[in-house]
Structure 1
Amino acid sequence: MPDFLKEYFLGLADGLQSTLKTPDAYLNKVALTAVILLLGILLYVLLKKMISGSVKDYKKRLQLHSRTKQVVATLATIAVLFIWVQAINVLILLALLFGVIAIFMVRGLTNNIIGYFVIKYRKYFEIGHRIEINGIIGDVIDISSTNVKLLEVRGGLSSDANTGRIIKLPNSIIFDESIKIIGVANSFVWHELKYVLSFDSDWQTAEKIMTEAGDTYFEETVLQELKENKGHELSEQAALRPVSSIDTNDAGVVLTLRYLVDYQHGTSVKTGLQRKILPQLNAHPNIEFAIVEVKVFQG
């Protein structure tokens, strides 16, 4: 802390201490403080009643109540400071307070601007890319000098559809949080389909149906997109093809199909695969889906 600030605060402390040592002055200031606080409460109650009587909209009324409370509290605090501290000291304290607030505001603005240049010129992500941060998933629709706008995806929905909500995040968040970015170098992600069959089902045939549907989708859709996108290597097709796996749980045999999909078409691709696979599974006489028992306890 600079020397002039140390001297100022030491002088301020000495002044307060001398006030406490003078009983009459101390009691007068306590009485005046109580009067100001009481007047502040009465003023807030009066203004609150006036707002309640004149403003019908509930949301707007709550906002006005909150702002009124803040204004009255600020005025009361300044008045109390004038009682306990000399006027010049009050002005200095307020100037210091506003200076600290301004520094924090400028600091936040500076971090957002730096974040903007990092995002834009290092191509951290671009408009159209899908990112996930703190459990929020969305498609980037705008990048300004202070914030990033996302069109929220999923948001409690079971599919990867847009919710219609727009979320604004400060650019500085890239320095504070880990971000999962989809669509920068690779627009493909892995999705899964799962089916639970009874233990006595013909799961071998079910697996064949599921695998054939996945391979057809890969050949007709994914492979064509990979050929058009020069950023993908076709030499590793085996690693990119759909993969099926088998497991069991208490309900039955679990069949899983893991497949690549463009992150923007996850829901439509999943629906298309389901329309191909489900009719074939339902039509086979030896394939039955497991029945999950739900036990209801009555108290």
Structure 2
Amino acid sequence: MPDFLQNYFDGLTESVFSTLKTPDAYLNKIALTAIIIVIGILLYMLLKKIVTRNESDFKRRIRTRKFLKNTMSTLTLLSVLFIWVQAINVLILIALLSGVFIAFMVRGLTTNITAYFVIRYRKYFEIGHRIEINNIIGDVIDITPINVKMLEVRGGLSSDSNTGRIIKLPNSIIFDESIEVLGIANKFVWHELKYVLSFDSDWEAAEKIMTEAGELYFEETVLPQLKETNGHLPADPAALRPVFSVDTNDAGIVLIVRYLVDYIQGTSVKTYLQRKILPQLITHPKIEFAIAEVKLFRG
């Protein structure tokens, strides 16, 4: 701590202790402090009642109450300080506290601006990319020197659809949290469809239906998008084709088809594949979906 601040606080401490050593002055200041606190509380309650009676808008009423509470608390605190400390010391304390507050705000602002340039010039992400931070998923719609604005995706919905809510996150979050970004190297991610069939179903027939639908989608949609995006196919396009897997659990036979999809089209592609696969599975005479039995017991 600088010498002038150390000397100031030493003098302030001595002033307070000298007051405590004088019983009459000590008791008088306690009485004045109590009176000021009571007056502050009563005045706040009166103003609060006036606002409640005359302001019909709920949001505006809440904001006004909060403003009154903060104002009365600040005035009461300053009045108490003037009682216990010399006026010049009160002004110095206010200046010091204001300086600390401004330094804190400037530090946060500086960090956000620094993060802004990191995002821009290190290509962390760009407008249009889908990112996930702290389990919050959204499409970036704006990057300002202070914050990142995202159009929320999913947010409790069962599909990868926009909720309509806009989320603002401070730029400095990139220094504190891990970020998953889609749409930088490529726009494709893996999704999957899962069906559970009864044990006596013809799962091989179901495999054929699911595989054909996945292959058709790959040929008609994924390959043209890859050519358009990259200008050429990857060295091993077979690695990008749909993948079929089979497993079992207590309910039945689990069939899964994994497929590549543009992350923006995840919900629409899933619906497209469901419409291709479900009618064939439902109408097939040797395929039945597993149905878990639900039993109600009465005590």
Which TM bucket (shorter chain)?
A: over 0.9
After superposition, where does 1:1-299 map in structure 2 within 5 Å?
1-230=1-230, 234-298=234-298
Give the 3-state SS of the residue equivalent to 1:224 in structure 2: helix
CA distance in 2, matches of 1:23, 1:232: 90
State how far apart, in whole Å, the 2-side matches of 1:295 and 1:21 are: 79
**For 1:288, what is the secondary structure of its paired residue?**
coil
**DSSP-derived class of the 2:26 partner:** helix
What SS does the aligned partner of 1:194 have? strand
Instruction: Provide TM-score, normalisation by structure 1.
Output: 0.97
1:104 maps to a residue whose letter is F
> Take 1:115 and 1:13, find their aligned partners in 2: how far apart are those partners?
42
1:139/1:151 contact within 8 Å kept: yes
**8 A Cα contact 1:112 1:145, kept in partner:** yes
Measured in 1, the distance between the counterparts of 2:163 and 2:226 equals 29
Q: Distance in 1 between matches of 2:165 and 2:215?
A: 36
Q: 1:298 to 1:84 in 2, by over 3 A?
A: farther
CA-atom RMSD in angstroms: 1.2
- In structure 2, relative to structure 1, the CA distance for the partners of 1:200 and 1:178 (3 Å cut) is same
Find the residue that maps to 2:139 and give its secondary structure: strand
Report the Cα offset of residue 296 of structure 1: 3.6
Relative distance call for 1:296 and 1:108 in structure 2 (3 A) is farther
Q: How many residues align?
A: 299
Partner secondary structure for residue 6 of structure 1 = helix
**Identical columns (%):** 72
Which whole-Å CA distance do the structure 2 matches of 1:230 and 1:141 have between them?
A: 24
CA positional deviation for 1:14: 1.0
Amino acid at match of 1:26: Y
Deviations 1:26-56 (A, max 9, x none): 1011000000000000010000000001001
Cα deviation, 1:139-185, whole Å, max 9, x if unaligned, reads 11111111111111111111111111111111111111111100011
Aligned equivalents of 1:174, 1:231: Cα separation in 2: 32
**1:277, 1:225 → 2: CA distance?**
22
CA deviation after TM superposition for structure 1 residue 66, in Å: 1.3
Query: Could you tell me how far apart the structure 2 residues matched to 1:175 and 1:32 are?
Result: 49
**CA distance in structure 2 between the partners assigned to 1:58 and 1:285 by the alignment:** 62
Quick one: which amino acid aligns to residue 124 of structure 1?
Y
Q: Distance in 2 between matches of 1:256 and 1:29?
A: 78
TM-score (norm 2): 0.97
Q: Deviations over 1:96-151 (max 9, x none)?
A: 11101101111111111111111111111111110011111111111111111111
The 3 A distance-change label for structure 1 pair 54 and 232 is farther
Report the 3-state secondary structure (helix = DSSP H, G, I; strand = E; otherwise coil) of the residue aligned with 1:229.
Answer: helix
The DSSP-based 3-state class of the residue aligned with 1:124 is coil
Q: CA shift at 1:295, angstroms?
A: 3.6
Q: Is the 8 A contact 1:227 1:234 kept in 2?
A: no
Extract unaligned runs of 5+ from structure 1. none
